[in-house]
Structure 1
Amino acid sequence: MVCRVVFWGSEILDIEPPTFVELEVTDCEPAVRGDTATTATKNATVETGATLKVPLFINRGDIIRIDTRSGEYMERA
């Protein structure tokens, strides 16, 4: 991962992470059969330990793209 770092002399003033990161889903709740609403989501944990809401079709081991500004799921990578 490449981050933008702003220095003033030897002091760090700002660190800007990339806009999107791709992380592996390490754990997620099973989807409930018949739960097919387009906005239905479930909880998932990614390799960093962060937890977020993802669509029902996401499974353990999937690589997903996350928006670092909001922490939201964007798409399957």
Structure 2
Amino acid sequence: MTFYYSNQLKIGLKVIYHSEPYIIISSKFTKPGKGQEFFRVKLKNLVNKKILDKTCKPNDSFLLADIKEVICSYVFNDGYYWIFMNKKNFEQISVKKSIIKGMSNWLLEEYDYIITFWNDEPISIIIASNFIEIKVIETTPVIKASSISVANKLAKLSTGITLKVPMFIQVGQMIKVDTRSGKYIAKVR
């Protein structure tokens, strides 16, 4: 078991706090004119993504979290579990629907995903790339008399998500989407 004192905490370090895994997102040393010095630490829970602000004394210690990140590719889902393949050893990894949450809109076989494990259980998943190329399978028809101020229409993508795209996007075309915001970026040529 490895412990870190408050003065050793660095951004990106993964620690256990109140029996849950956290990542340090900021750590600031403060020495007031009177009183003891302290650290203001901002932690992000790796399971529920909540942010926690904590004031620590220099001798407060944190246990290093047993966190592993694995690069995987999406294979399929059966409605309850999403199955991924570890790119290093080709083992299959089952991830519960509750962990996938909003990621199901961006799961495509040709992209890499990073699955975070804590105590050998998957706790989160993110797409390794911020942008994906995805096929448009349905769009709303363009109305010729529509105002120039209406420059977007709705398009349904191959994963089932619907988003706003420019009027010139047609069914069957590939578009580039920002997975962080869920917004159209460009038409793929």
1:39–1:55 CA contact under 8 A, matched in 2: no
Which residue matches 1:47? Answer: 158
Higher relative contact order (CA 8 A, sep 6+): 1
The answer to whether the aligner puts 1:72 opposite 2:183 as a matched pair is: yes
TM-score by length of 2: 0.38
- 1:1-77 → structure 2 map (5 Å cutoff): 1-17=111-127, 18-33=129-144, 35=146, 37=148, 40-77=151-188
Q: CA deviation at 1:5?
A: 1.7
Mapped partners of 1:13, 1:45: distance in 2: 29
Deviations, residues 9-46 of structure 1 (Å, cap 9, x unaligned): 31123211131111110000122225473761001000
- Higher-helix-fraction structure: 2
Give the number of equivalent residue pairs: 77
What's the Cα RMSD here?
A: 1.8
Which ranges of 4 or more aligned residues in structure 1 deviate by more than 6 Å?
none
Structure 1: runs of 5 or more not aligned = none
Structure 2: runs of 5 or more not aligned = 1-110
Distance of aligned partners of 1:59 and 1:26 in 2 relative to their CA distance in 1, 3 Å threshold: same
Mapped partners of 2:115, 2:150: distance in 1: 37
Mapped partners of 2:167, 2:124: distance in 1: 36
TM-score by length of 1: 0.86
Distance of aligned partners of 1:39 and 1:32 in 2 relative to their CA distance in 1, 3 Å threshold: closer
Percent identity between the aligned chains? 36
